[in-house]
Each structure stands twice: as structure tokens, then as C-alpha cells.
């Protein structure tokens, strides 16, 4: 792979790095809150992937130039692709919903078990199972 | 923060502007970046700021939890309702052209109404989430 | 009005959900939910009729013409899955009336039904939509409500089970979004029919193959294929009974549908089997799933968990049918979608009756129940026989087509057919353990234990009757499944 190809695709390297960081946190941490942080970083990398692919060099935000009703729109304006932005707006909202459901579950787990560490929860459950 | 006079007065002054900004972001959403999602979150931020400064109880007197829950449901009904209305007018679901003689205005009204539904739901959900997490008692383990 | 049916299929439960959430009386919310699920079933049946009579139904949301606008596209494959999901929804909703009052705090009942309806509309939405990103949105609608539903279970382990499902489910959904994004980069389209036309032009691109991998792993997480199944057993075991019955019979089925739709319709059967060797990847996974999970199920003492592991094994059968890469194999997969929904629905509902009366599904607690709750246990026995694949039950029909598919291929595939028979015997072992406890051991629980109320038994027996009816008269179901399989395998011959 030539250096040019490496540099010109820098957005993908950022995405991959973020994705792996998030995924690693998700897998390696036992704390339930940290897992959600990892999940968030992981999802954010996908947002980056979509947003960066919609960007056209020199493109303006996809808002109609002119009177707003297309009357005297300037023909030669280059717009960035708005669709990935719209999709990611939806995905961000989904991400927020996932995070809040996850955090709500974490709060309930903390109330039920008194801990947020996965291995301690497993130990408590193992003790309960052994005593039955 | 109940004793900090600057914070209290500052929050009071800022709140109406935040709410105004939320409405601006909503109603200007079809000409510039913005729309119901952003507006709903900004609107919630106004009340979250008040709650941080004046305490949860004071804000819940103005904006009771049952109301935020109602909002969360109402917005979805507004959104879906627009679609049902266009269906009754003989178009497809969310076919905004049905809403006015001129399709240009039909699209305009349609997107504003739908985004209003989004605004109401996002506001209701975010405020409910804020209340639920903020109102949870801190129990020491 | 019939032209609007595809959208009504989704928005009837979707709009009933917020109304349920604000209703103050549990009863009102309950009956609204029942009404919405019944209308969904009626719509699904009419849609299937329309598709069988006149071919593909296409619906343009907001009057935007595809591929620019979002299209709802109903062909024989998803009309079939819609009927499966909607009919389970229509049976579980009235069942949950009594069950939920028993298992969930009364102030949460309206919210329970709101989440239930959201889950139903999400699953119907995934099935009906013809737009890739729409699939993701509906997938998250159904998943988020499913996490909430599972966490409502009484034991505190329901919380950790829901949490684990949330983490794994979100990773799966994110993988699917990555896959969709990569496809969009290559083709500039999100419409499934449009993608199917554009993709052959870029088959050679590495991006498309990577997208294929991401979509595959994401969907397999959702459908709990063998190494990615870890979220399923606990989620099913600790969720409230109606939720388990509903999820076990619908959620994984819709995920299997997604797999078929993505890989066979969009990428095309030729690309999947010839270029990506999908069959050779799935075959070992499916076989390991069937054998190992049946084995694990034999050693479970919690009957709900036992059936959950058996579900993972049964998913293995569905994937096994797909990995035959033939019309007969795919017919078996599609038949098993329906048949497994019927048998698992009946079994989990029978267990719900047991929970209602004795509060536990531990195998020792169920000792001697055969005399105390004869109708409930009879339902369990019929469901269990169906799971094993005894003739005159739907389970037999699925296994029949599966073995037929294996024999058709001949050669080493005969071994697969033998393995199907062996695992059926393993299913017999775990079902027998429960039956033995219920009928041959002495009852040791509360003397006042009686038969479950009619409001629970009637929906259970509707499913049991369906198990028997479609086991005897399989002409219609097999016909639809075969037609759907031919549509999916189009362009590759049989």
C-alpha cells in the first residue's frame, strides 16, 4: 500500500481506530458502566464512517442556496450528500436510546446486587445457586 | 447552588432564551440545520439547567413528570396522526402533498407538523429520562 | 383502503403503543393491545392473500417513488413471515392478560403493553420494509422494547440477562449498520430491490465482501446462531412468561428472515453460495449448534432454560436447511420458521401456566403436576412431541423436509440426515425428563394446586391445536414455503 493511499483514506483509519478502541473497552472491562462507554465509542465510529463518506471536498452544507424555495438556486454549487447525515441523525437517536436503557438497567442492577462489577455479580449468583 | 445569587439569576435570565432558541431551531429547521430532534434536546436542556440550580422539586412543580410522559406519547401520535390524515385525504402515508393545494406548501406544513411531533416526543423522553435518573435516591451499598 | 394495508400493518401497533403508555387502567391498555394485535393478524392474512393472488405488493411512503423514497415491499417470503409474527402476537396478547397481572406490578402494566406493541410493530416493520436503513430502525425499535420487556422478569437475574442482551444486541445492530453503510458507499442506494440490481456490478469489490461479513455477523448475533447465542438462554429463562413465549416464537424467526433477505435476495443466491461459500460456513455452525445445544439442554434443571437451549438447537435446524443451498432445504427452513413458532409458543405458554400456579419451573417443582394440571401438562406433552418431530405434529413436517433435502443431495449428506435423527432422539431425552417428572413422580407441593385458569389454557390450546392441524394437513403451509423458497433461490436453479 502506497503512502498516498494511506493518507488519502485517513478518515477510514480514524474510524477503524475508534471502532477497535470502543470494541476493546466493551470486551475487556468488567464494569457495566465502562462497557456502555465502550459501546458508545464503538457506535460513534460508525457515525464517523457515514458522515465522512457523505462529505465532498469543497461541498457546502446541503441547504438550498437562493430564496429557499428553489427560485433562483445557483446551479454550480456543490453540495455534500445529505442522506448519510440524516441516517446518522437517526442512528444517534437510537444510540442515545440504547445508552439510556443500558444505564437504566445498570442502575437497577446496582440496586439489586449492590455492585456494578460483572465478576462480583457472577460470584453472587454462583453463591445463590450453590445454596439452593 | 441554592445560595449562589449569580448562578440563580443567570439561570433565570438564560432560560427563556434557551426555550426561544429551541423553537427557532425547530421552525427554521427546513431552511437551515436543525429540526425536532435538536429542538427537543435544547428545550430539555432549559429545564435541566433550572433543575440543577433550583432543585428537582421546583422544576417538577412547573413540569410535572406525568406531563413529560404524556408528551413522549403525544409526539408519536402527532407524527403518526399526520400520516393517518394524509391517508384519509387519499394519498399515501405521510404524503404531505395532501395537506395543501400547492405541493410546495403541503411539503412545508407536513414536515413542520411531523417535526413538531418529533420535538414533543424528544422533549418528553429526554425530560423523563432526566427525571428518572436525577430523582433516583442515592443508596449506599 | 386495501392499498394502504402494508403501512397499516406497522402503524396500527405502533400508534396503539403510545396510547397504551398513557392509559391509566391496566385493563384498558390490555384490551387495546389485544385489539391491535388481532388487527395486525387480520392485515397480515389479507396481505398474504393479495400476494398469493397478484404477486408483489409495493407501497411508497409519502408518495416518494423508490429507490429515492422508502418502499414497503411484500412478496411471498415476507408475507409468510408477517403471518407467523402476527399470529403469535395475536395469541400471546390475550394470553398475557391473566399472566401479566400475576407476574408484573399493576402500575407497570400499561407500559408493559406499550413495550409489547412496540416490539411487535418493530418485528413487523423489519419484515415488511424494502429499505435497508429502515430495517435497522425497526430492528432497534424491536430490540430496545425487548430489553425492557425482559428486564420486567421477577428474578433479579432478568436484569443482568437484559443487560447482556443489550450489549450483544447493540453490537449486532451496529455491525448491521456498518454493513449497510459499506453497501451504500459502493452503490449509492438503500432500496433492497435496487441494491439487488446494482450489486452484481460490484461483486468483485472487497468492500462488498466486507459488508457481507459485517451483515452476516450482525444478523447471526441477533438470531443467536451457535457461537453468538450467549445472550439467549438467560434472556428467555428470566423474562416474564408471555414475553418468553412471544420472543422465542418471533424475534429469532425475524432474524432468520433478515438473513435470507440480505443474503439471498439482495446479494443473490448465486453470490452467496458460489462466491462467498455461505453454505460451507453455515453448515458446521448449524451442526455444532444442533448437537451441542441439545446436549446442554439435557442437563438443565430449569425447564424454561432447557427450552431456551433447545431453541438455539432449533435455530441450528433452520440454518442447516439454508446451508443445503437447495430449494428443498430452504423449504424446510421456511417451514420450520412457522412450525417452531407454533411448538415453542405452545411450550412456553404451558410453562407460563405452571408459573401461574406454582411459581417455579424447576424440574423438581414440576413433579407430579400431570395429575394436578392435566390440561397444561397435556399441552406440554403435545408441544414436546412436536419438538421431537413425532408424526402428526408440525415438528415431523419440518424434519421430513430437512431429511428429504439431505437425501436429495446424497453422498456425505446422508450423514447429516442421520444426525438430524440422532438429535431428534436427544430432544426426546430432554422432553422425557420433564414428562417423567410430571407424570411418574409424586406431587409434593401445595395441596391446593389446581388447573390453570381458562384464560391461560385457551390460547395455549389454540397453539397446540395448530401444532396438530398443520402437522396433519401440511399441504398449504408446505406449498407457501416452497413457493417462497423458489422466489429466494431464483436464478440458481434447484
pLDDT in tens, C136-165: 999 999 999 999 999 998 888 999 999 999
Mean pLDDT of C182-199: 90
Give partners of B (≥3 CB pairs < 8 A).
Answer: A, C
Mean pLDDT of C458-471: 91
pLDDT value for C1: 65
CA-nearest residue to B40 within chain A is: A93
**Is residue C382 a contact partner of residue C468, using CB atoms and an 8 Å limit?**
yes
Mean pLDDT of C98-125: 89
Among A42-51, A61-70, C40-49, C405-414, the minimum mean pLDDT is found in A61-70
Q: Using the beta-carbon criterion (under 8 Å), do A97 and C144 form an inter-chain contact? A: yes
Q: What residues in A contact B132, CB-CB < 8 Å?
A: 104
Mean pLDDT of B44-64: 91
C-alpha span between C326 and C348 (Å, rounded):
32
Q: Using the beta-carbon criterion (under 8 Å), do B133 and A114 form an inter-chain contact? A: no
C-alpha span between C423 and C419 (Å, rounded):
6
What confidence tier does C494 reach under pLDDT thresholds 50, 70, 90?
very low
Q: Using the beta-carbon criterion (under 8 Å), do B33 and A89 form an inter-chain contact? A: no
Interface of C with A in 182-211 (CB under 8 A): 184-185
Q: What residues in C contact B96, CB-CB < 8 Å?
A: 62
* C7, C8, C15, C62, best to mutate vs chain B, most B CBs in 10 Å: C62
**What number of CA atoms fall less than 13 Å from residue C5's CA on the CB side?**
21
Establish if C136 touches chain A: CB-CB under 8 angstroms. yes
CB-closest option in C14, C61, C63 to B97? C63
pLDDT value for B111: 87
C-alpha span between C309 and B114 (Å, rounded):
44
Task: Choose among B96, B76, B75: nearest CA to B85.
Answer: B96
User: How far from C207 is each of A1, C179, C182, C203, CA to CA, in Å?
Assistant: 16, 9, 6, 9
Task: Choose among B35, B65, B82: nearest CA to B126.
Answer: B65
- Centre a 10 Å sphere on the Cβ of residue C280 and count the other Cβ atoms it contains: 11
State the fold for domain A3-56+75-131: Helix Hairpins (1.10.287)
Mean pLDDT of C119-134: 93
CB-closest option in B37, B129, B132 to A89? B37
C-alpha span between C231 and C162 (Å, rounded):
8
C-alpha span between C369 and C377 (Å, rounded):
7
Task: Choose among B48, B50, B49, B58: nearest CA to B129.
Answer: B48
CB-closest option in A63, A89, A115 to B31? A63
> Could you tell me how far CA C87 lies from the centroid of its own chain?
12
**CA of B53 to nearest chain C CA: how many angstroms apart?**
30
pLDDT value for B139: 46
> Over the stretch C271-315, which tens digit does the pLDDT of each residue have?
888 888 888 889 999 999 999 999 999 999 899 999 999 999 999
What confidence tier does A2 reach under pLDDT thresholds 50, 70, 90?
confident
Q: Is pLDDT larger for residue B63 or for residue B98?
A: B63
pLDDT value for B127: 94
**CA of C91 to nearest chain A CA: how many angstroms apart?**
28
Quick one: what percent of chain C has pLDDT higher than 90? 56
CA-nearest residue to B89 within chain C is: C1
Mean pLDDT of C463-470: 91
User: How far from C156 is each of A111, C150, C159, C468, CA to CA, in Å?
Assistant: 10, 11, 6, 37
What confidence tier does B104 reach under pLDDT thresholds 50, 70, 90?
confident
pLDDT value for A72: 52
Q: Using the beta-carbon criterion (under 8 Å), do B93 and C62 form an inter-chain contact? A: yes
pLDDT value for C99: 85
**CA of A124 to nearest chain B CA: how many angstroms apart?**
14
- Centre a 10 Å sphere on the Cβ of residue C426 and count the other Cβ atoms it contains: 19
Q: Using the beta-carbon criterion (under 8 Å), do C163 and A50 form an inter-chain contact? A: no
Residue in the block written with cell 430496545: C144
- Kindly state whether residue C411 falls inside one of the protein's structural domains: yes
pLDDT value for B92: 86
Q: Using the beta-carbon criterion (under 8 Å), do C11 and B93 form an inter-chain contact? A: yes
pLDDT value for C151: 92
**CA of A6 to nearest chain B CA: how many angstroms apart?**
33
> Could you tell me how far CA C346 lies from the centroid of its own chain?
13
> Over the stretch C49-105, which tens digit does the pLDDT of each residue have?
999 888 888 999 888 888 888 899 998 998 999 999 999 999 999 998 888 888 888
Q: Residue A106 above 90 pLDDT?
A: yes
C-alpha span between A69 and A72 (Å, rounded):
8
**What is the number of structural domains in chain C?**
1
Q: Residue C42 above 60 pLDDT?
A: yes
Q: Residue C328 above 70 pLDDT?
A: yes
pLDDT value for B2: 60
**Is residue C88 a contact partner of residue C249, using CB atoms and an 8 Å limit?**
yes
**CA of B95 to nearest chain C CA: how many angstroms apart?**
4
- Paired with C22 in beta bridges are none
Q: Using the beta-carbon criterion (under 8 Å), do A46 and C181 form an inter-chain contact? A: yes
- Kindly state whether residue C248 falls inside one of the protein's structural domains: no
Q: Using the beta-carbon criterion (under 8 Å), do A100 and B129 form an inter-chain contact? A: yes
**CA of C261 to nearest chain A CA: how many angstroms apart?**
21
Task: Choose among C128, C41, C125: nearest CA to C91.
Answer: C41
- Centre a 10 Å sphere on the Cβ of residue C451 and count the other Cβ atoms it contains: 15
Query: Residue B102: which residues within 8 A CB-CB, separation 6 or more?
Result: none
CB-closest option in C137, C148, C160 to A121? C160
- Show me where the domains of chain A are located: 3-56+75-131
For chain C, the average pLDDT equals 90
CB-closest option in B73, B96, B97 to C18? B73
Residue in the block written with cell 419440518: C398
- Show me where the domains of chain B are located: 5-134
CB-closest option in B73, B91, B95 to C21? B73
Q: What residues in B contact C61, CB-CB < 8 Å?
A: 92-94
CB-closest option in B70, B92, B97 to C59? B92
CA-nearest residue to C151 within chain A is: A105
Q: Using the beta-carbon criterion (under 8 Å), do B76 and C17 form an inter-chain contact? A: yes
What confidence tier does C244 reach under pLDDT thresholds 50, 70, 90?
very high
Residue-number span of the structural domain to which C359 is assigned: 278-494
- Kindly state whether residue C357 falls inside one of the protein's structural domains: yes
- pTM for the predicted model, two decimal places: 0.93
> H helices within C359-443, ranges in order?
369-372, 374-388, 394-409, 413-440
Q: What residues in C contact B80, CB-CB < 8 Å?
A: 11, 14-15
Establish if C18 touches chain B: CB-CB under 8 angstroms. yes
CA-nearest residue to B106 within chain C is: C62
**Is residue C346 a contact partner of residue C458, using CB atoms and an 8 Å limit?**
no
For chain A, the average pLDDT equals 84
- Kindly state whether residue C71 falls inside one of the protein's structural domains: no
Amino acid at each position: 500500500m502506497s503512502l498516498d493511499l494511506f493518507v488519502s483514506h485517513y478518515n477510514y483509519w480514524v474510524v477503524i481506530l475508534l471502532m477497535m478502541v470502543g470494541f476493546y473497552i466493551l470486551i475487556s472491562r468488567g464494569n457495566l458502566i465502562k462497557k456502555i462507554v465502550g459501546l458508545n465509542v464503538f457506535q460513534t465510529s460508525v457515525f464517523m464512517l457515514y458522515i465522512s463518506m457523505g462529505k465532498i471536498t469543497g461541498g457546502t452544507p446541503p441547504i438550498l442556496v437562493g430564496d429557499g424555495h428553489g427560485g433562483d438556486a445557483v446551479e454550480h454549487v456543490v453540495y455534500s450528500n445529505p442522506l448519510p447525515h440524516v441516517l446518522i441523525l437517526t442512528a444517534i437517536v437510537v444510540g442515545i436510546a440504547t445508552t439510556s436503557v443500558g444505564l437504566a438497567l445498570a442502575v437497577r442492577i446496582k440496586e439489586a446486587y449492590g455492585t456494578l462489577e460483572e465478576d462480583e455479580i457472577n460470584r453472587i449468583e454462583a453463591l445463590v445457586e450453590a445454596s439452593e | 447552588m441554592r445560595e449562589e445569587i449569580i448562578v440563580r439569576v443567570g439561570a433565570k435570565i438564560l432560560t427563556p432564551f434557551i426555550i426561544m432558541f429551541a423553537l427557532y431551531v425547530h421552525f427554521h429547521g427546513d431552511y437551515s440545520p436543525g429540526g425536532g430532534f435538536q429542538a427537543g434536546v435544547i428545550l430539555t436542556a432549559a429545564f435541566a439547567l433550572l433543575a440543577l440550580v433550583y432543585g428537582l422539586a421546583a422544576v417538577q412543580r412547573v413540569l410535572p413528570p406525568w406531563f413529560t410522559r404524556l408528551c413522549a406519547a403525544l409526539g408519536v401520535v402527532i407524527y403518526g396522526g399526520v400520516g393517518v390524515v394524509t391517508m384519509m385525504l387519499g394519498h399515501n402515508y405521510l404524503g404531505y402533498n395532501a395537506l395543501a393545494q400547492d405541493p410546495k406548501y403541503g411539503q412545508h406544513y407536513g414536515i413542520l407538523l411531523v417535526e413538531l411531533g418529533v420535538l414533543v416526543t424528544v422533549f418528553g423522553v429526554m425530560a423523563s429520562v432526566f427525571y428518572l435518573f436525577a430523582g433516583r435516591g442515592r443508596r449506599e451499598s | 383502503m386495501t392499498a394502504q394495508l402494508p403501512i397499516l400493518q406497522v402503524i396500527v401497533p405502533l400508534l396503539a403503543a403510545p396510547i397504551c403508555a398513557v392509559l391509566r387502567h391496566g385493563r384498558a391498555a390490555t384490551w387495546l393491545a389485544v385489539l391491535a394485535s388481532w388487527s395486525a393478524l387480520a392485515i397480515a392474512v389479507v396481505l398474504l392473500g393479495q400476494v398469493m393472488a397478484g404477486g408483489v405488493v409495493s407501497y411508497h411512503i409519502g408518495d416518494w417513488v423508490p429507490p429515492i423514497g422508502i418502499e414497503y415491499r411484500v412478496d411471498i417470503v415476507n408475507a409468510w413471515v408477517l403471518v407467523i409474527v402476527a399470529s403469535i402476537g395475536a395469541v400471546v396478547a390475550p394470553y398475557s392478560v391473566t399472566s401479566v397481572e400475576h407476574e408484573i406490578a399493576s402500575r407497570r402494566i400499561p407500559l408493559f403493553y406499550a413495550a409489547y406493541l412496540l416490539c411487535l410493530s418493530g418485528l413487523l416493520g423489519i419484515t415488511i420494509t424494502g429499505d435497508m436503513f429502515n430495517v435497522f430502525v425497526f430492528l432497534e425499535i424491536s430490540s430496545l422494547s425487548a430489553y425492557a420487556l425482559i428486564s420486567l422478569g421477577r428474578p433479579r437475574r432478568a436484569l443482568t440477562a437484559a443487560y447482556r442482551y443489550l450489549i450483544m444486541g447493540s453490537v449486532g445492530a451496529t455491525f448491521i449498520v456498518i454493513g449497510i453503510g459499506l453497501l451504500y458507499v459502493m452503490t449509492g442506494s438503500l432500496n433492497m430491490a435496487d441494491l439487488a440490481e446494482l450489486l452484481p456490478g460490484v461483486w468483485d469489490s472487497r468492500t462488498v465482501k466486507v459488508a457481507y461479513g459485517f451483515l452476516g455477523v450482525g444478523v447471526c448475533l441477533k438470531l443467536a446462531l451457535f457461537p453468538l447465542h450467549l445472550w439467549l438462554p438467560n434472556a428467555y429463562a428470566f423474562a416474564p412468561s408471555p414475553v418468553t413465549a412471544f420472543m422465542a416464537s418471533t424475534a429469532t424467526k425475524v432474524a432468520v428472515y433478515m438473513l435470507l433477505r440480505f443474503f439471498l435476495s439482495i446479494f443473490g443466491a448465486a453470490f452467496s453460495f458460489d462466491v462467498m461459500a455461505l453454505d460451507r460456513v453455515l453448515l458446521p455452525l448449524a451442526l455444532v449448534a444442533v448437537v451441542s445445544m441439545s446436549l446442554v439442554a439435557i442437563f438443565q434443571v430449569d425447564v424454561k432454560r432447557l427450552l431456551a437451549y433447545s431453541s438455539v438447537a432449533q435455530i441450528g435446524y433452520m440454518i442447516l436447511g439454508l446451508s443445503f443451498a437447495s430449494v428443498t432445504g430452504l423449504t424446510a427452513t421456511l417451514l420450520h420458521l412457522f412450525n417452531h413458532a407454533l411448538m415453542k409458543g405452545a411450550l412456553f405458554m404451558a410453562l407460563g401456566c405452571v408459573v401461574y400456579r406454582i411459581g417455579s419451573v424447576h424440574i423438581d417443582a414440576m413433579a407430579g403436576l400431570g395429575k394436578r394440571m392435566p390440561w397444561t401438562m397435556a399441552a406440554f406433552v403435545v408441544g414436546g412431541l412436536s419438538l421431537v418431530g413425532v408424526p402428526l405434529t408440525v415438528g415431523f413436517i419440518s424434519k421430513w423436509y430437512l431429511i428429504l433435502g439431505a437425501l436429495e443431495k446424497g453422498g456425505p449428506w446422508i450423514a447429516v440426515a442421520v444426525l438430524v435423527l440422532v438429535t431428534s432422539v436427544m430432544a426426546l431425552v430432554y422432553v422425557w425428563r420433564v414428562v417423567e417428572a410430571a407424570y411418574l413422580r409424586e406431587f409434593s407441593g401445595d395441596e391446593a394446586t389446581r388447573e390453570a385458569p381458562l384464560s391461560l389454557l385457551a390460547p395455549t390450546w389454540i397453539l397446540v391445536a395448530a401444532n396438530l392441524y398443520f402437522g396433519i394437513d401440511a399441504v398449504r403451509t408446505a406449498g407457501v414455503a416452497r413457493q417462497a423458497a423458489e422466489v429466494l433461490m431464483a436464478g440458481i436453479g434447484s
